[in-house]
Amino acid sequence: MPASAHRLTRRGLLAAAASCAVLVPGPSRAGAAPARVVSLDYGLAETLLPLGVPPIAIAEADQWATWVVEPAMPPGVVNLGAAQEANLELLHALKPELILTTPYLAPLGPVLARIARTESFAIYTPEPGTPYPRSVDATRRLGGMIGRESQAQELINASAARMAATRAALASHAGTPVFLVSFMDTRHVRVYGAKSLFDDVMTLCGLANAWRGEVNYWGFATVGIEQLARAPEARLIYVEPIAADVLAALARSPLWNSLGFVRAGRVHAMPPALMFGMLPSAMRFAGLLGQTLAGAPAHG
């Protein structure tokens, strides 16, 4: 039995037992809460960490440090390969008790169910609703599923507190329109708009998203840089990493140099944060947002 199972609180255990007995009676829920959990999604995996049940294996573990950074994935977590092609022979050998997945991986559902109980969490879907409130609900549901209700509530509270703290710290920037982009190459950006986690966090922190255009299924749009000219009064924050030639090419571009936020020096770099994450990514992003804008003059 892994060490994490001993950290169950009595109240959590009772609650889990009660929910098993009352809501979902059945042989699969009869035993203790599952301790051997596997996640095929970064967002769900990063939520498992603060809940105190680190996953035994995740998809694309080798790229975690580049895209999620924080919370750090403990060493020894098994890499399952690509999420959409998680290694089934390996998964079978690991004998997990619970597999966490998303509707994006729906075609894998029946296969995964042959290995272990599989639960799907919808955070990024086109239905009404946005990622942050969905992440709160999913965190609560996940906490209940693994017998960590109180830790889940603590995470939700901590995240709300982080948002409020950032909002207070950025009070002088309240209502400032901000473009949040990733540079794709020297001519294109991915701009995060409505229905993205970043948009939710910016709103919670009192900022306004400068991108009002259409977005895709995952809450971003891929556009030419000239499209950013629509809101010259905005700030621009770009998420790292950025390709080697982009900044030099932009420096030579008369159009880029004529954009309001460039002329006023309101362009900021921000370390990477997972754009398709859940509450831990939202907290990291809010923290980075606070650091990035803290030094900037409120009305530059």
The contact set with other proteins (CB under 8 A) reads 63, 66-67, 78-82, 84-85, 87-90, 92-93, 103-104, 106-107, 109-111, 125-126, 183-188, 190, 213-214, 216-218, 220-227, 229-230, 232, 243-245, 248, 252-256, 258-260, 276
Instruction: Write down the least CB distance from residue 248 to other proteins, Å.
Output: 7
Instruction: Write down the least CB distance from residue 255 to other proteins, Å.
Output: 4
Instruction: Write down the least CB distance from residue 104 to other proteins, Å.
Output: 7
Identify which of residues 99 and 146 has a Cβ nearer to other proteins in the complex.
99
Instruction: Write down the least CB distance from residue 46 to other proteins, Å.
Output: 16
Identify which of residues 231 and 289 has a Cβ nearer to other proteins in the complex.
231
- Residues whose CB falls within 8 Å of the CB of residue 300, separated by 6 or more in sequence, listed in order: 264, 265, 266
Identify which of residues 26 and 110 has a Cβ nearer to other proteins in the complex.
110
> Cβ atoms within 10 A of the Cβ of 22, count?
8
Identify which of residues 79 and 291 has a Cβ nearer to other proteins in the complex.
79
Instruction: Write down the least CB distance from residue 281 to other proteins, Å.
Output: 14
Instruction: Write down the least CB distance from residue 24 to other proteins, Å.
Output: 23
Identify which of residues 186 and 203 has a Cβ nearer to other proteins in the complex.
186
Instruction: Write down the least CB distance from residue 229 to other proteins, Å.
Output: 4
Identify which of residues 111 and 269 has a Cβ nearer to other proteins in the complex.
111
> Cβ atoms within 10 A of the Cβ of 202, count?
25
Q: How far apart are the first and last CA of the chain?
A: 57
Identify which of residues 28 and 258 has a Cβ nearer to other proteins in the complex.
258
Query: Can you spell out the DSSP letters for the chain?
Result: --GGGGG--HHHHHHHHHHHHHT--SGGGSSSPP-SEEESSHHHHHHHTTTT---SEETTGGGHHHHT-SSPPPTTPEE---GGG--HHHHHHH--SEEEE-GGGGGGHHHHHTTSEEEE--SS-SSSS-HHHHHHHHHHHHHHHTT-HHHHHHHHHHHHHHHHHHHHHTGGGTT-EEEEEEE-SSSEEEEE-TTSHHHHHHHHTT-EES--S---TTSEEEEEGGGGGG-TTSEEEEESP--TTHHHHHHH-HHHHHSHHHHTT-EEEE----TT--HHHHHHHHHHHHHHHHTS-TT-
Identify which of residues 29 and 188 has a Cβ nearer to other proteins in the complex.
188
Instruction: Write down the least CB distance from residue 134 to other proteins, Å.
Output: 15
